[in-house]
Amino acid sequence: MLINVALQDGFDGDTVVIRVDGDEAYRGEEVTTRTQLSHAEDMQLDVPDEPFALEVEVPGQGIRESLDVDPRAQPNVALSLLDGRLVAGYPERLGFG
């Protein structure tokens, strides 16, 4: 099963590592938000069909969070950095349109 993940606000030349149940699924280097769009990166991740742990790490900022995600109820995950912490949202759709 695939979910959509968007890295949105607050990224500034960061390394971002995303793991699905402990296995690295994405690594981005120099991830930077385009502030006009509140957008840094988009990706689709192959995930289990059942609830799983989505771990997000921004090592340069000392941020590491684990989110419980049910891919059937939350197929879209929007991640932002705000005041030194990770903020997750689960919009119905990602992007413009």
In this prediction, residue 70 carries a pLDDT of 97
Query: Does any domain span residue 95?
Result: no
Query: Rounded to whole angstroms, how far apart are CA atoms 60 and 75?
Result: 28
Q: Is residue 55 part of a domain?
A: yes
Hey, is 6 helix, strand or coil? Answer: strand
CATH code of the domain containing 80:
2.60.40
- pTM listed for this prediction: 0.93
* Range 56-83 average pLDDT: 97
Domain assignment present for residue 9? The answer is yes
In this prediction, residue 60 carries a pLDDT of 96
Asked, for residue 25, whether it belongs to a domain, the answer is yes
pLDDT of residue 9: 96
| pLDDT for 96 | 47
Domains in the chain: how many in total? 1
Read off the pLDDT band of 92 (50, 70, 90): confident
Q: Residue 97 pLDDT > 60, yes or no?
A: no
DSSP 55-92: EEEEGGGTEEEEEEE-TTT--EEEEEEETTEEEEE--S
- Using one digit for the tens of pLDDT, what is the confidence trace for 10-47? 999 999 999 999 999 999 999 999 988 899 999 999 99
